[in-house]
Each structure stands twice: as C-alpha cells, then as structure tokens.
Structure 1
C-alpha cells in the first residue's frame, strides 16, 4: 500500500505541475522563442562555416549546423525549464516510505506527448523518395542529362519542405519544454522529500521527444546538401542555388 501511495503522490504531483505551468505561462510562446533562438544560432554557425572556415560541402555544413543547433537547443531548453520551475513551491508526500523500492515511470510519464515523435514517422517515406530521386539523377547517362535539372529541383523542393517541417516540430514544440520542466522540478522534490523513484532525467526526456524530428531534419538537410554538391557545385548556399535555378528557367 505504501508503494501505491508513493506512486499516486508522484502522479498527482506531475499533474499539478503541468497544470500550473499551463496556467501561469504561454508554453507555445516560450516554444516559439526557443525555436527562434535556435534558428538564429544555426544561421550563425552556418555563416561561420561558410565565411571563416570555408567549408565548401553543403552536406557537411548542414550536418554540422544541425548538430551544433541541437546541442544549443538542449542547453537552452534546460536553462529555460529551470527558470520556469525555479522558486515554485513543489511538494510531494514527505512521509513516503524512504525504503520503497525504485519504480520506473520513464515509459509512462504524463508528459509523453506522442504528437511530435509520431509526426516525424510520416515523412520517412518522402525522405526515401528524395533519396531515390538523387540515385536516379546520379545514374543518369549523358543522353538523359536534360532531366537532371528537373530531378534536382524536385529533390530540393522535397528536402526543403520536409526539412523545414521537421525543424518546426523539433524546435518550436512546447512538449519537450514541459517534459524537461517536470523533470527539473522533480529533481528539486527528490532533494527535499524522502521519495525514491527511478526517473529518466531531463536529458533523456528531451531526447526521447526530439530524436525523430532531429533525424528527419538531418536526413533532409544532408540530401539537400548532397543534391546541391552534386549538380550545382558552384553555389555556396541554398539562396544562391535558388537564384541560379530561377535564372535558368
């Protein structure tokens, strides 16, 4: 019975924390601000690689940009979540049995919103289509070289469309912010109350909700960079590639 009481206390506490965060803050606005900061960071990293480090491969540049952007996103997410719950009066049943066995709620947290993670699954097929277009274009012989620009344009459009969609899911969603805020708040509780519950921690919670959109964004960006590197090696950026395509058509 003590274990059940401990479990109910933690679950009720999580629900209360989520309700308070929704009531006191506009989490969507916070998500937009975090996403905007992350995109600006990525723009700065990309510009640094292009102008100072002279990284010519767009595929490599996009891969590094997304990697640094994601690390920055996780750090900002952790700091932001801490600010949201800092000073909040958090309390769990302090009389809970200190010897209660560890319980793993990592798979059943009420913050486990499946909308972000599942939304990324639908784009995998179209990412494969873009990859198939790249393979077809790469295997085109000289007699079929006229179709290469058309295939390149199609692949670029697909990669940009789904890459932008994945980035929006990744950086502008507030699901990860809510999950990390709950984990950070629980770390305060566990330091004050005699409650031992196995938690996944803020980092695992954030990665669990964002790794699929990140993977989709990386795949789309690398495909886009590979297409541009293969068929338009003279360009140094996506806007420049667009201008070249518009001039040709």
Structure 2
C-alpha cells in the first residue's frame, strides 16, 4: 500500500508539472516553431541532395530527407524541452518519494490522440500501395489518371502525417516531463523506472513518421516511374498542369 501511495505522489508531481508548463507557456506555439524549423531543415537537406549531391531518385531523396529531418526534430525537441524545464528548475519540487518499482518503463497517460491518428494515415497509405502493386502495369500506363490519383493521395496523406508529427506539442510536453524528472532524480534519492525522453518522443511520433515515410517514398516511386524527367514535385505539378 505504501508503494502505491508513493507512486500516486509521483503521479501528482507529474500532473502539477504538466499543469505548470501549460500555464506558463503556449505549448501549441512552441510546437509550431519546432515544426517550422524542422520543415526548413528538411527543405535544406532536399536542396543539397538535388543541387550538390545530384540524387536523381525522388524516392531516395524523400526517404533521406525525412530521416535527417526526424533526427534533427528529436535533437531540437530535446534541447527545447531542456530550456523549458531549466526556466522552471528553481520551482521544481524535489520532494519525490523513494519508490523502487523494479524494471520496466512506466508510461503516463499523456494526450496521445493526435499521434494515434498517424496510424490511420499509415494504413491508408499502405492500402494505396497494395492497390498500385496489384494493378496491371500496362493498365496504369494506359490510364494515367491512376498515377495522378496516387500522387494526390500521397501528397495529402504525407502532408497530414508531417503536420501530426512535427507540429504537435504532445511530444514536447512528454520530453519536458522526462527531462524534469531526470533533474529531480539527480537531486533526490528517487528510484522509479522511467522510459526516458527519447523513448517518450519516439512513442508519440513513430506512427505519423511511418505514415509520412510510406507516403513520401510512394510519391517518389510514382514520380520516378511515370515522370522520370522531372526533378522535383513542383516540376511534376507543372508538367501535369
């Protein structure tokens, strides 16, 4: 019973910190700023691949761009959360009970609704790929409307996945709480199994990331196959119009 009571105290500490961060900062604005920076980073990576490294395959270019963008996003997320917590470090309550819950990570019920929606986007993109793969190649060439439809689906679903991935503040809040707890643990004898900031961030972002990667690679593959002469998505749009 004492362990249960102590664990409730830890949960209350998390709730107070979460409420304090919401009250002190506009987390939605912070999420928009982080997402904007990440998109600019991805644009720069894509431009380097196209103009400097001369990567011809759009599928490969989009895959590498999303990979580098996600790594940059995680680093910026960690730095940003650390800055938020450091500003509140003087007010952190270090009176956290000494709880030993053994191994295994404890996941708190954060607001992960937007992250779960990324799974729907991923399933829809996978379904589009299965339809394209089962279709006869000659029919696709004869009916180019199918290619246009796939391009539109990939663009819409991919853009939606990127919005869910980079502009949501859920991951920022989760990472901030994990960073804050690491500060508390360093100043007090606390033995509570935690998932860590990286696992918290990945847990909230892997589904929309998967949806974005599937859509981007599918879009690049379709463009590479039907319009090998184009070197970018805007050029493909101009060609279609």
Assess same fold via TM > 0.5: yes
Within a 5 Å distance, the mapping from 1:141-152 to structure 2 comes to 141=138, 145-147=141-143, 149-152=144-147
* Correspondent of 1:131 among 126, 129, 132: 129
Q: Runs in 1 of length 4+ with deviation above 6 angstroms?
A: none
Normalising by structure 1, report the TM-score.
0.90
Q: Which residue of 2 aligns with 1:183?
A: 178
Superposition pairs of residues 1-249 of structure 1, within 5 angstroms: 1-88=1-88, 89-93=91-95, 96-97=97-98, 100-103=99-102, 106-111=105-110, 113-136=111-134, 139-141=136-138, 145-147=141-143, 149-246=144-241
Q: Measured at CA, do residues 159 and 225 of structure 1 come closer, stay the same or move farther in structure 2, by a change above 3 Å?
A: same
Deviation at 1:9, TM superposition (A): 1.8
Deviations 1:95-125 (A, max 9, x none): x34xx423568444132x2312320122234
Tell whether the 8 Å contact from 1:180 to 1:206 is kept in structure 2 after alignment. yes
Q: Contact (CA 8 Å) 1:6, 1:195: kept in 2 or not?
A: no
The C-alpha deviation readout for 1:179-211, integer Å capped at 9, x for no partner, is 000000000000111111000000000000000
Checking the alignment, whether the CA contact within 8 Å between 2:140 and 2:147 is kept in structure 1 is no
Relative to the length of structure 2, the TM-score reads 0.93
Tell me the distance in 1 between the aligned counterparts of 2:72 and 2:140.
Answer: 44
Check 1:114–1:123 CA distance in 2 against 1; reply closer, same or farther (3 A cut). same
How far apart are 1:16 and its partner, in Å? 0.5
Unaligned runs of 5+ in 1: none
Distance 1:13 1:237, change over 3 A: same
Instruction: Supply the distance in 2 between the matched residues of 1:199 and 1:178 (Cα, whole angstroms).
Output: 15
Q: Is the 8 A contact 1:9 1:92 kept in 2?
A: no
Instruction: Decide whether the 8 Å contact of 1:32 with 1:172 is kept in 2.
Output: yes
Q: Which runs of 5+ in 2 are unaligned?
A: none
2-structure distance, mates of 1:104, 1:159: 41
Please list the CA deviations of residues 140-165 of structure 1 after superposition, one character each: whole Å capped at 9, or x if unmatched. 32x77330x21110000000000000
Contact 1:15/1:110 (8 A) holds in 2: no
What RMSD, in angstroms, separates the aligned Cα atoms of the two structures? 1.7
Whole-angstrom distance in 1 between the partners of 2:47 and 2:218: 20
Aligned length: 239
* Mapped partners of 1:184, 1:73: distance in 2: 16
